Chains A and B, each alone.
Chain A
Amino acid sequence: MLMTQYGGFGDGPPPYRGIHRDSTGPRGPLGGHTGSVTVLRVAVVEDEPLYRELLSTGLIAHLDDVEVIGSYATGEELFLAVKPSDVDVLLTDVDLGPGIDGTQTGIRMRRSNPRLGVVLLSNFAMPGLLAGLPDDVRGGWSYLLKTSVADLDQLGLAICESAAGGMVIDSALTKTLVPQGSSPLQVLTPRQVDVLARMANGWSNKRIAEDLVLSVRTVESVISDVIAALAIPRDIDGYNARVACVLLYLQHTVSKSETPASRP
């Protein structure tokens, strides 16, 4: 049901996938989702056994409307065991050791199943990865730090949003992201950057408004300004405009606290 209006991918960013985006509050399994929902089928790929176990049985199992259909140590294992069309969301570690990495696994699987959502987990603060994805698989990717998955709210949001074509970037990461020296983001006001960062977290307008102590109407207008300022094409609908903004944001920010320590 979630995917019924899905259109298919062309050259541009993915079209709106059918979730009606409103401002009634955060959606997601823990976000007070009402009405009939389809259970999302999640495949987990993680090479560290302990963490894999924790993810699939300790965490995701606690989410409503989400079902783990299998957990695997490598991308290769996943491809052998699962048909891409049987998976709604792929939850994968980025660095899987030797062999195909998590990003490549996601890209490959997504090309077989264009409706697939991908949640990348990593120890590394490199959400910029998502901005570098090939055009035909953009959108529907989230990026969380491995230490953040205890925040079930965010994990659930990431799974749900990815399945719907949206993006959720770990809030622990967006807190550290700053615009690069010279970038299109320079035209934005600090307020606009704040809103943009929360858009990257996958938050609804209402939640952004609550967080920044603003009215929903103001947030909506700030978002329109951001879309206009970043010259996002008008012919894509609101939801995809958000994704396009987030991608631009990821492309032109770096994690300030993650600069390498100098060698001893």
Chain B
Amino acid sequence: MTLPPNYTRLVLSPWPFLLLAPPEFFGVATIVMRGPYTGDFQQGLLASTVAVGASLVLLGVAYPLVIVARRRPWGARLRTTTGVVLVYVILGATQALLIITLSEGFGAHGGSPPLLTVIYVFTRPINLIILAIVVSQLGEGFATMRTVNGEVAERLQLARRTNAMLEAAETAMREESRATLVHQVRGPLRELVRNADGRTDNEVADDLDAFIATRLRPLSHVLHPVSVRLGLVSAVRSLDAEVLLDAAPAIERMDRDGVLLDEGVRLQVYRWIRDRLMPDASTRVALVMRGRELEVSVHPSAAGSLDAVQVVAGLHETGRGVLRAPLRGQVPSASQIASGQVGVEAPVPVRQRIRDVLTTPLPRRVGLVALIGLALVPNQLVAFQFNVDWRSILLGFTTAGTAITLAAIFNLLPKPRQTVSGAVLVVLEWVSTGVFPVLVFSAAASALGLYSTFAQNIGLDLFRGTYRFTIIGLMLVIAHGVVVQAQRALTKATADFEAEERRRAEILAQSRQLDADVAEALHRTVQGRLAAAVVLMRMGRRPEAWDIVEDMAGVEIPRLLDRMGSPLGVAPNPPDGMRIDVYGAEALPDELIGDVRTALGELAVNAQRHGSATRLVVRIVSEGGVWMINCLDNGSGLSGPMTSGLGSRLLEELTARHGGHWVMQSAGSGCRVTLEIPDPQASPSPSPVSA
């Protein structure tokens, strides 16, 4: 996905010839019309039709031959830059000779001075080559635009959707896990603690034993299947009495040795099998190798679909109850990731695009090409219309000089970027570059007595002039602008894509971390210590045992719930090149976390964009039933009142939703924003607190 930023690349195309045909047509017509020998309008049009028409017929015959020749092995040289130049030179010069000879037949020059013929034959190929560069530029620019709008945008969209689905799935899983923990662990354990008084050591030990056996142990298969760590086969076998698992000994061995599936994939395959089991039905599960994948079939199978985490793990279904999972080390490809419905950025409006393209400044090299083009054209102006005397030479140089000077001045003029005025200025300057030299030419010709019919000829002159200067100049600007804008869009899209990739890695890492936390806390700490408590209880060491139980019920499990309560935390993902530190977020109520995160994300983006901040420090404190979220950035501070932007509207809405508000003030070198939100747990109907 890189562009060749080569502004001098030559392509072989019929377009330069065709683009040159209209000015040639009117050129011949005017020469014949105003020439000293005929001056007849119809004669002029006839001469143009014959001369230019013949040159196009020549093109129509020769061009296909060249194309065919380029495809042959012996025509390889025609595919090189030198070959392309050669084609333009030979074909262009032949056309020039044809046009001159034929128009001469209509008495255009009255004897066709050899010098004029040489100049025309020499300049025409150069014009063609300049046009070819412009055409190739345009082609490349549009091709890149298409890539950006198509492939890259699609991949970016896919990545965003995947991440959004992942986040949703992750959040759902956490909420589910949390609910399980609350209802199946915290509740029953509290109950057990309450009922312990008056029961004998052995009775309490039995209760605890039962709690572990009926509550905690089953969760090892549901909440975080730690058992999966020990192998898919053994975990599936212990799922249900009615499961019959078929797997070749080699597969079982690989699974046991941990080389069958990646750990994350194994967990997802296990979840998939577990979710497909039908209650009260004898189920056959078969594991078979299929190329680089493991095929898992469950029969009979409950209906269901893959969730985002499973999709990202590379799982895909090939039928009801039939799953394919990548073997260890086989990374899932992006094409396997299914699509979903997620909001996508609005495309840039066409008007904005035109403004952007037109106001992209030309690099000096391109300006140079334009100047060369402009410098060459007056030769023809001079050559065709007059005999070579001092007046025509003066006229030619005056016209060329005016054009070059105008183009140079305009190219140097500062133009406001990405604005309507800038775009208008660009168009105007190229129109001026086309029109003024022609006006100068016509006026000078009249003054020198070379024009008898100024009024009659000025129209044709203007057309020729504007065509050559204005149209070609603007084409050059557009071609360059398209390429630059496309490159910019590509760079941005690529950066966005990479950011999404990083985000995905982050979500998955967080997910793994939580899994590990839950496994550690619930299955090792809680379950392991409660097992110790049972043992101690049975040994008659009740006080020690009871310390453990109370520690689990009162500290460990609530701590675990806290950790699961705020899936993504308060701190948003910082924009590139920015760091966000959040202090005091632990106590923030669950219902505020999502909105505060969104608000902080918005603040971070604004601080970076408007104040070039690189750091945002957030302190969250509760004062008299109000959550004060103090945000301080290290940017350039307030440059003006921030009242109407999207960012401020968003902050307004996010805080007002909870009955709060926000204030912003300059704080020395940075900017301080305070969100004040009444504690939703303090009072059911909070009223906003004044600053």
Chain B proximity of A150: nearest CB distance (Å)? 4
Which residues of A sit under 8 angstroms from B307, Cβ to Cβ? none
Closest partner residue, chain A, to B540 (CB atom) = A150
Query: Known contacts being A50-B529, A54-B535, A147-B534, is A129 close to B524, with CB within 8 Å?
Result: no
The verdict on A194 contacting chain B, using a C-beta distance below 8 Å, is no
> Chain A: interface residue count, which band?
35 or more
Kindly specify which of B18-26, B209-217, B613-621 makes contact with the partner chain.
B209-217
- Encode A45-63 as 1/0 by CB contact (under 8 A) with B: 0011011001000110000
Chain A proximity of B144: nearest CB distance (Å)? 47
Q: A259 contacts which of B220, B240, B523 (Cβ < 8 Å)?
A: B240
Q: A126 contacts which of B212, B238, B241 (Cβ < 8 Å)?
A: B238
Q: Is the interface of A mostly helix, strand, loop or mixed?
A: loop
CB within 8 Å of B: which residues of A?
47-48, 50-51, 54, 58-59, 94-95, 97, 101, 103, 123-126, 128-129, 132, 134, 145-147, 149-151, 178, 180-182, 254-264
Chain A proximity of B411: nearest CB distance (Å)? 65
A254 touches B529 (CB 8 A): no
The verdict on B579 contacting chain A, using a C-beta distance below 8 Å, is no
Kindly specify which of B50-58, B96-104, B225-233 makes contact with the partner chain.
B225-233
Which residues of A sit under 8 angstroms from B238, Cβ to Cβ? 124-126, 128, 254-255, 258
Segment 185-230 of B: residues with Cβ below 8 Å from A = 205, 208-209, 212-214, 216-222, 226-227, 229-230
Q: A123 contacts which of B208, B212, B231 (Cβ < 8 Å)?
A: B212
Alpha-carbon distance between A130 and B111 when the two chains are bound, in angstroms = 109
Alpha-carbon distance between A255 and B235 when the two chains are bound, in angstroms = 12
A-B contact pairs, 9 of them (CB 8 A): A97-B519, A97-B524, A123-B220, A125-B217, A146-B531, A257-B213, A258-B221, A260-B274, A263-B176
Chain B proximity of A134: nearest CB distance (Å)? 8
Which residues of A sit under 8 angstroms from B176, Cβ to Cβ? 263-264
The verdict on B536 contacting chain A, using a C-beta distance below 8 Å, is yes
Alpha-carbon distance between A193 and B573 when the two chains are bound, in angstroms = 60
Which residues of B sit under 8 angstroms from A145, Cβ to Cβ? 531
B209 touches A147 (CB 8 A): yes
The verdict on B282 contacting chain A, using a C-beta distance below 8 Å, is yes
Query: Known contacts being A50-B548, A125-B217, A264-B183, is A181 close to B524, with CB within 8 Å?
Result: no
The verdict on B243 contacting chain A, using a C-beta distance below 8 Å, is yes
The verdict on B489 contacting chain A, using a C-beta distance below 8 Å, is no
CB within 8 Å of A: which residues of B?
176, 179-180, 183-184, 205, 208-209, 212-214, 216-222, 226-227, 229-231, 233-235, 237-244, 252-253, 256, 274, 279, 282, 519-520, 523-525, 527-529, 531-532, 534-539, 548
Q: B532 contacts which of A50, A101, A151, A254 (Cβ < 8 Å)?
A: A50
Chain B proximity of A248: nearest CB distance (Å)? 14
Chain B proximity of A93: nearest CB distance (Å)? 8
B220 touches A147 (CB 8 A): no
Chain B proximity of A161: nearest CB distance (Å)? 21
Which residues of A sit under 8 angstroms from B243, Cβ to Cβ? 180, 254
Alpha-carbon distance between A134 and B220 when the two chains are bound, in angstroms = 25
B216 touches A123 (CB 8 A): yes
Chain B proximity of A247: nearest CB distance (Å)? 14
A259 touches B535 (CB 8 A): no
Interface centre among A47, A182, A264 (most CB of B within 10 A): A264
A261 touches B230 (CB 8 A): no
Which residues of A sit under 8 angstroms from B220, Cβ to Cβ? 123-124
Alpha-carbon distance between A134 and B548 when the two chains are bound, in angstroms = 38
Closest partner residue, chain B, to A98 (CB atom) = B516
Which residues of B sit under 8 angstroms from A260, Cβ to Cβ? 218, 221-222, 239-240, 274
